[in-house]
Chains A and B, each alone.
Chain A
Amino acid sequence: KNQVEQSPQSLIILEGKNCTLQCNYTVSPFSNLRWYKQDTGRGPVSLTIMTFSENTKSNGRYTATLDADTKQSSLHITASQLSDSASYICVVSALYNFNKFYFGSGTKLNVKP
């Protein structure tokens, strides 16, 4: 069964600290993996997109890693800001089945001053 599991479910950190969010997936055959940021009451917005051959990709203070062998990805946030408070959703797409997207349940990050 194609699944995407994220951990932790929620996380509270102090402003300025770093954190790492985890995503494990069983989607096969794998096409690519995206991390989305979703502010409360808004639609998800893409942060990074990673294909099979990519191990690391950065977008400002966000760095995503991908290990296609172990089917794991992480999103590292450096020097967190209050505006980073949001849900972070890992989305994996399958190579076939119309490039279907499989969503994790998200990690809710709360950055406190």
Chain B
Amino acid sequence: DTGVSQDPRHKITKRGQNVTFRCDPISEHNRLYWYRQTLGQGPEFLTYFQNEAQLEKSRLLSDRFSAERPKGSFSTLEIQRTEQGDSAMYLCASSTQQVGTEAFFGQGTRLTVV
């Protein structure tokens, strides 16, 4: 296990289509985070899982967004009826739950909605 893996790296979709991204965290990490990053900005928190439980969702996560982590391992982020404003880099990170732990990031999925 060499790190956090995200798939796909790039996705171009037409407005109105649904897209799904996958994140495979570091195997011993029970925490998994999704962030969105637009050009020139830092990552913005979307949601967080501890094992299979989704413990917090940002207000940025509209009802068109849904995230799952069914077995406490990999996670998926689905965006329904995509809009041009959804174009961004979607980053996944994982960590342990120890205080002072570090978040390890994947390479991200770049979404372009045309």
Residue positions of A touching B, CB distance < 8 A: 4, 6, 31-32, 34, 36, 41-46, 49, 51, 89, 91, 93, 95, 98-101, 103-106, 108
Contact = CB atoms under 8 A, between A and B. Distances in A.
A105 B41 contact: yes
B101 interface: yes
Contact of A43 (B4, B55, B101): B4
Give the dominant DSSP class at A's interface. Answer: strand
Given A43-B106, A44-B105, A46-B102, A99 B43 contact: no
Contact of A99 (B6, B99, B105, B108): B99
Nearest to A106: B42
Interface in B60-96: 89, 91, 93, 95
B42 A42 contact: no
Contact of A101 (B6, B45, B97, B106): B45
Given A34-B102, A99-B101, A108 B40 contact: yes
A46 B104 CA distance: 8
Given A31-B99, A43-B107, A99-B99, 12 more contacts: A36-B105, A43-B93, A43-B105, A46-B102, A91-B103, A95-B99, A98-B31, A103-B42, A103-B43, A105-B40, A105-B42, A106-B41
B50 A98 contact: yes
B96 to A, nearest CB: 10
Contact of B48 (A32, A43, A98): A98
